[in-house]
């Protein structure tokens, strides 16, 4: 029987929420990481290691680590710093495992890599050396690098999402980068400047399974798919209740299936459309969408779900999970068809990821 | 053998080096929970607050990052108090100083 762990990053620490592959009953452990605000947690399944990225108002940024499923934790930020005189790293915002190391995205936006399991870090300086950096502007959450996409079969390829600078791609392991925002809108710019090279406010960036170059992007201004690694983006927002939302989650096996949580709009409160909660799913790469509501609150749902707070597991059928800004955690064990609430009173949830242990 | 005029000589340089002030650092409990091997009060020798924090980092690797950023300066919500005054990283220390490291009011 498999063990399923939800890795839940919150404003007041990390939590591990555990079940078996039936995914009916869950136990909650935490808060870990000395109740530091944790922006993102991931697992390296090969090493059975869980990492948690965050920052504390007093003690600064760090990446926490447990190799015994939460029993004991260590923390490090050795090397997780810019050069003297630069604006210091305030927070660690995102994590990703690549084929040759661990990546961390930070605020102000930049990328770091660890080749020793998070003990020490080095700056992937090529990204901040990009000539567009002077144009990068902080979004509502700050100037944050909140998504990192790696390819298991190609260590040289990296994508990052920065608010609000957009998507950048490296084909050489981070030495050089190019913006990949063509086709994504910046509605907050003057009418004749809405498709700039950089400056788009990406909210979520995920890669479809299957080894193709398909990416999906939830943006502040629309929902997009790219079939060529982000060189060109196509709008797939028709059929959605809003062009605005934060997270997106790919299916573990089907590249045409994607899950979203559109909110009612960027200046309308950023909660569930009509205050009725729904996860939206496409089975055809964004051509059509359906709302999945069974078991989700259908009145007074004035909550939002942030960039990294929607995830799937790799079981069959896939589990889907999301956590709200109000501290509620919802789960589906049937690809979104039905939902249950696992927790109602956690701290504000920043991120949800999964780990399945066979 | 020529000398530079200072007391002692080439074979006595160690004795000629100025003795560093002996100080006591009082660490915040929240920091101790991050470094369980550390003690609440730490006796060490340092000429400045920055040197004292570097000495802490020697004993408990990573502690400097928790107290200072890469600017380098003491973190915004950490207060270091010497002789009743908020200190900076370059504040000089003297023999017998008690250096209080405090977590400032922050958060929500």
Instruction: Please give the structure tokens belonging to residue A350.
Output: 């920043």
Give the domain extent around A193: 3-357
Which chain B residues have a beta carbon less than 8 Å from that of A78? 61-62, 65
Contacts of A52 in chain B (CB under 8 A): none
**Contact by Cβ (8 Å): A14, A64:** yes
DSSP A152-178: TTEEEEEEEEEETTEEEEESSTTSS-E
Does any domain span residue B53?
yes
Instruction: Look at B34 and A86 and tell me if their CB atoms are within 8 Å.
Output: no
Which residue in B34, B62, B107 is closest to A34 by CB distance? B34
**B92 assigned to some structural domain:** yes
The token pair that represents B8 in the structure block: 């002692």
How many distinct structural domains can be found in chain B?
A: 1
B11 falls within a domain: no
8 Å CB contact between B50 and B74: no
Residue B30 falls within a domain, yes or no?
yes
User: d(Cα B99, Cα B83) in Å, to the nearest integer?
Assistant: 8
Q: In chain A, how many domains are there?
A: 1
**pTM for the whole structure:** 0.94
Residue B4 falls inside a structural domain: no
* Residue of A60, A76, A81 lying closest to B75 (CB–CB): A60
Comparing CA positions, the residue from A145, A195, A139 lying closest to residue A167 is A145
| Interface contact flag, B61 A78, Cβ < 8 Å | yes
CB contact under 8 Å between A57 and B106, yes or no, is yes
ipTM: 0.91
CATH number at residue A307: 2.130.10.10
The distance of B73 to chain A (nearest Cα, Å) reads: 10
Tens of each residue's pLDDT in chain A, 358 residues = 899 999 999 999 999 999 999 999 999 999 999 999 999 999 999 989 999 999 999 999 999 999 999 999 999 999 999 999 999 999 999 999 999 999 999 999 999 999 999 999 999 999 999 999 999 999 889 999 999 999 999 999 999 999 999 999 999 999 999 999 999 999 999 999 999 999 999 999 999 999 999 999 999 999 999 999 999 999 999 999 999 999 999 999 999 999 999 999 999 999 999 999 999 999 999 999 999 999 999 999 999 999 999 999 999 999 999 999 999 999 999 999 999 999 999 999 999 999 999 9
Interchain proximity A81–B70, CB inside 8 Å: yes
Closest alpha carbon within chain B to A11: B108
Q: What is the pairing mode between strands B98-103 and B22-26?
A: parallel
Range of the domain at B70: 17-103
The pair of structure tokens assigned to A49 is: 């290691």
What residues are paired with B45 via a beta bridge? B22
Per CB-CB distance under 8 Å, the chain A contacts of B64 are: none
Burial (CB count within 10 angstroms: exposed 0-12, middle 13-18, buried 19+), residue A239: middle
Q: Taking a C-beta distance cutoff of 8 angstroms, is the pair A354, A8 a contact? A: no
- Whichever domain contains B80, its CATH number is 3.10.20.30
- Chain A residues touching residue B107 (CB < 8 angstroms): 57
Residue A225: exposed, middle, or buried by beta-carbon count in 10 A (0-12, 13-18, 19+)?
buried
Token pair in block for residue A221: 């201004």
Answer yes or no: is B78 within a domain: yes
């Amino acid at each position: 029987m498999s063990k399923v762990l939800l890795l839940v990053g919150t404003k007041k620490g990390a939590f591990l929420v555990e079940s078996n592959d039936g995914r009916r009953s869950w136990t909650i452990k935490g808060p870990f990481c000395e109740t530091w605000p944790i922006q993102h947690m991931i697992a390296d399944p090969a090493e059975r290691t869980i990492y948690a990225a965050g920052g504390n108002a007093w003690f600064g940024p760090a990446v926490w680590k447990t190799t015994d499923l939460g029993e004991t934790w260590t923390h490090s930020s050795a090397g997780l710093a810019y050069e003297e005189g630069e604006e210091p790293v305030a927070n660690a915002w995102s994590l990703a495992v690549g084929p040759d190391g661990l990546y961390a995205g930070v605020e102000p936006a930049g990328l770091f890599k660890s080749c020793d399991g998070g003990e020490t870090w080095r700056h992937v300086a090529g990204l901040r050396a990009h000539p567009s950096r002077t144009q990068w502007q902080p979004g509502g959450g700050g100037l944050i690098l909140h998504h990192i996409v790696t390819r298991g079969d190609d260590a040289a390829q990296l994508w990052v999402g920065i608010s609000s600078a957009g998507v950048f791609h490296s084909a050489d392991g981070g030495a050089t980068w190019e913006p990949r925002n063509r086709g994504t809108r910046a509605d907050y710019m003057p009418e004749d400047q809405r498709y700039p090279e950089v400056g788009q406010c990406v909210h979520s960036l995920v890669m479809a399974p299957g080894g193709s170059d398909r990416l999906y992007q939830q943006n502040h201004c629309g929902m997009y798919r790219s079939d060529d690694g982000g060189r060109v983006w196509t709008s797939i927002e028709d059929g959605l209740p809003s062009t605005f939302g934060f997270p997106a989650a790919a299916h573990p096996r089907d590249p045409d299936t994607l899950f979203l949580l559109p909110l009612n709009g960027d200046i309308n409160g950023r909660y569930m459309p009509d205050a009725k909660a729904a996860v939206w799913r496409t089975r055809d790469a964004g051509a059509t969408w359906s709302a999945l509501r069974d078991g989700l609150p259908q009145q007074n749902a004035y909550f939002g779900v942030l960039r990294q707070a929607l995830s799937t597991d790799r079981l069959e059928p896939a589990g889907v999970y999301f956590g709200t800004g109000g501290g509620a955690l919802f789960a589906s064990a049937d690809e979104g068809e039905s939902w249950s609430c696992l927790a109602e009173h956690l701290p504000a949830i920043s991120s949800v990821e999964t780990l399945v242990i066979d | 053998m020529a000398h530079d005029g200072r007391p002692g000589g080439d074979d006595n340089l160690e004795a000629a080096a100025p003795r560093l002030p002996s100080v006591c650092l009082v660490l915040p409990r929240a920091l101790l929970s991050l470094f369980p091997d550390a003690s609440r009060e730490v006796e060490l020798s340092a000429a400045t607050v920055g040197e004292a924090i570097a000495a802490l980092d020697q004993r408990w690797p990573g502690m400097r990052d928790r107290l200072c950023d890469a600017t380098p300066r003491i973190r915004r919500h950490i207060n270091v108090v010497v002789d009743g005054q908020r200190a900076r990283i370059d504040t000089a220390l003297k023999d017998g100083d008690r250096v209080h490291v405090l977590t400032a009011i922050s958060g929500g």
